[in-house]
Structure 1
Amino acid sequence: MRHALAARLSAATLVVAAVLLPSAAHADSRVTVANPAGQAKVDPTYATTLTVSGSGFQSIKGGHGGIYVFFGTVSPGWQPSKGGATGKDYYYVPDSESKDNQGFQRFVAFPGSDTASSANGGTMSASGGWSTRIVVPGATFQTYDRAGDVHTVDCRKVTCGVITVGAHGVANAHNETFTPVTVGSLGAAATSTPSAAPTAVATGPAATADPSAPAGPGTGSGPRPAGAAALEVDRASAVAGNVLAFSATGLPAGTQVSAVFDDGAAGAGPFLAGADGSLAGVITLPADTGAGTHELRLYGVAKPPSVSFAVQPAETTAEVTTPAAAEDDDTRAAWLFAGAAALVLLVAVARLGLRGWKGRRRAA
């Protein structure tokens, strides 16, 4: 009996130990950040290239998406898996989602993912490891909130760092991390080109840009365009309710701008100018836009470029009865009338015949 009791206690101890001890198969996700000098530090004036490496991430073979790697700042409870939202709980340097973007954002794909062809940050290993490089434009950058308003983040006043989240809208708590970095002069050996980031100073990620500061990144010490900024639209597609394509040239390299139609009737952005000062984008025209001349303007530079163009009313499809269709309707009506008349005549003849048969029967 004692031996049986001892055996049961030993088995129970093993079960409890198996439940309480953490599994070694799922290590916590970790991120390391290093500039060319090996420091987790960015220059306040010049663009800094950071090598970002991760380990212990949840790798889903053949899974949709992967992770995004951003540079920005976060608030408590910022994680998307906890209801956090970009432009409200965390802010990052905007960039296009194309594979050949400016390097401010990277996409690391899951192994065998259906979106692996668009990854510009490599592929995650089966064990959850990955490595990529991102560009930090400087200590300050402009970003947008949930309402589309422009804000300036100053990493000398708030804590900034590398953010990782699930890509393509997939919230995954295991792959959500924030790794802080410091801001300080690095010298030419650890930096690259002059920063194209906004020079306005703000008090935090949700602060509005200082109206006395330059309006955009091209008004400070960054690269300047050769000529004045110009804006053009695809006039053939300027129809109410349609998607309107536009393009701009002569913008400062790396400029972040937003497109506004008719002083707020519609908006889109942010859009980022390339190294040659050009960009392309689209904006949806409101369906109730009246026919006539309207305006599109780009905000984010000292002298916002604009263009006026004619908008056509929304196309309507009205049912038109062609002469041939009308003739067919008349012919069909005539045949129906003739058929009905023949039926009435047939019924009348039948009734007369029935009466005659009944009369002969009574006579008989």
Structure 2
Amino acid sequence: MTRRPRSLLATLLAAALTAGALTLALAPAPAEAASRITVENDRGGANADSTYQTKLTITGSGFQVVKGGFGGVYLMFGWVEDPRSGSWKPSKGGLTGEDYRYIPDAENAAENQGYLKFVAFPGSSTAAEANAVLSARGGFSLELTVPGPVFTSVDRDGNASEVDCREVTCGVITIGAHGVKNPANETFTPVRFGDVYGGAAPTESASPTARPTAQPTAGSPTTAVPTTAADPTTAPTRRAAGAPAVTADRATAVAGRALAFTGQGFTPGEQVLAILDDGVVALGPMVAGASGEVAGLMQLPLDLGTGTHELRLVGAASGAQPTEMFPVQAGAAEPVAAATEDDDSEVAARVFLGLAVLVFLVALAVALVRLRRRRPGPRATTPVAGATP
């Protein structure tokens, strides 16, 4: 007796379930669970050197992409209060100086020293200021400079404080840029410190780390330069002519854009901080020039309220704190939420397609089975006399 072939219905049902599962699997995963980075130094490891500054290659993947959206992702080195719970994240109410600290740096590519990087959304109005642009799939690769295990950070009130990564866990931080809180792009990746270069600088660019009192370069944190830099005890102490003053370029005072400003009358060589309002944005330390002048660009948050705001410069050595009140205009930008809805629509469309394929194949299987049952069976034949059964 011949074995009956496998049920057509079972075969088609298995194919339908497989097709549906594959379609659902191909749907993109939510960005909140996908964003991640890898860290690699120039020796192939993932740690930073305890004696020399380290260049780390940061590779990101799976970050949420908002085509033409405002801002992007900040890439920073610093410390967070509670990495496990994520309470440090700006989207959960985390504040700079309280829940996380980082090495400050100029955001625009022209003045950036390598301690903080800005990755823009593709087609963003701020892409010209960025160090890189997110790929269509949310990827990027940038080099981040870690000056050493000790750095100086600034809180929302403009107060400087020291962070020692030998006592707390530091690492690479990513958050939404330009004041846009985006939980999908908030990550923290720990980085350990150790002997990367075997006690010798690999290149001339790998400078030894400095004590917080070392004289920094313009726009860099206080620990970013070698100990051979100019010592503050020998720096000029003369005060530049004229009273300290700050001037904001009002044409650039638009929410979501970079505010240009200048300052005069500081002690040549002293460190100067720039603070907006009560610390909504802080920039620096900057270093006053030979004539006591400073200049900088401060990114204004997109959600900064219109009307009058205050810009304050703080001289670390002189104690001078000139201020200026200036008006801020509203800025137009595409919100992140709109792009998130587009991404969710794409996921929903793929899921709907998979279910449609599944329903169609099941219906086809049922129809074929019914058609087979309606076919008449084979006619009976009369045996021939004398024939062998």
Shift of 1:147: 3.0
**8 Å Cα contact 1:258-1:298 kept in structure 2:** yes
Q: Give the structure 2 partner of residue 246 of structure 1.
A: 264
Q: Give the structure 2 partner of residue 60 of structure 1.
A: 66
2:36 alignment partner, one of 19, 30, 35: 30
Superposed CA RMSD in Å reads: 4.8
Q: Give the residue type in structure 1 aligned to 2:65.
A: S
Answering whether residue 115 of structure 2 is matched by residue 107 of structure 1, we say no
> Which stretches in structure 1 are left out of the alignment for 5+ residues?
201-215, 288-295, 312-364
Q: Give the structure 1 partner of residue 182 of structure 2.
A: 172
**8 Å Cα contact 1:43-1:183 kept in structure 2:** yes
Distance 1:238 1:167 in 2: 26
Q: Give the structure 1 partner of residue 384 of structure 2.
A: none
- SS of the residue corresponding to residue 95 of structure 1 reads coil
Q: Give the residue type in structure 1 aligned to 2:295.
A: A
**8 Å Cα contact 2:48-2:191 kept in structure 1:** yes
Distance 1:274 1:127 in 2: 39
Q: Give the structure 2 partner of residue 358 of structure 1.
A: none
Distance 1:236 1:151 in 2: 24
Q: Give the residue type in structure 1 aligned to 2:208.
A: P
Distance 2:187 2:297 in 1: 32
- SS of the residue corresponding to residue 175 of structure 2 reads strand
> Which stretches in structure 2 are left out of the alignment for 5+ residues?
1-6, 215-221, 251-260, 299-307, 324-389
TM-score when normalising by structure 2:
0.56
Shift of 1:271: 2.3
Distance 1:218 1:59, change over 3 A: closer
Offset from partner CA, 1:167-204 (integer Å, 9 cap, x none): 1111111111111111112341277123346269xxxx
- SS of the residue corresponding to residue 133 of structure 2 reads coil
Identity among equivalent positions (%) equals 43
Stretch deviating more after TM superposition (54-63 or 243-252): 243-252
Answering whether residue 99 of structure 2 is matched by residue 89 of structure 1, we say yes
**8 Å Cα contact 1:44-1:140 kept in structure 2:** no
- SS of the residue corresponding to residue 245 of structure 1 reads strand
Offset from partner CA, 1:191-249 (integer Å, 9 cap, x none): 7123346269xxxxxxxxxxxxxxx659993511674155547759689xx99832656
**What pairs up with 1:1-364 in 2 under 5 angstroms?**
23-24=27-28, 26=30, 28-76=34-82, 77-99=87-109, 100-119=111-130, 121-185=131-195, 186=197, 187-189=200-202, 192-196=206-210, 198=212, 221-224=227-230, 227-232=235-240, 245-246=263-264, 248=266, 250-251=268-269, 257-258=272-273, 270-273=283-286, 279-280=294-295, 298-299=315-316, 304-305=317-318
Distance 1:147 1:111, change over 3 A: same
The structure that has the greater radius of gyration is 1
Distance 1:222 1:166, change over 3 A: farther
Offset from partner CA, 1:66-118 (integer Å, 9 cap, x none): 10100001122111122212211110001122322211111011111111100
Q: How many residues align?
A: 274
Distance 1:307 1:25, change over 3 A: closer
Distance 1:227 1:95 in 2: 23
Distance 1:30 1:308 in 2: 41
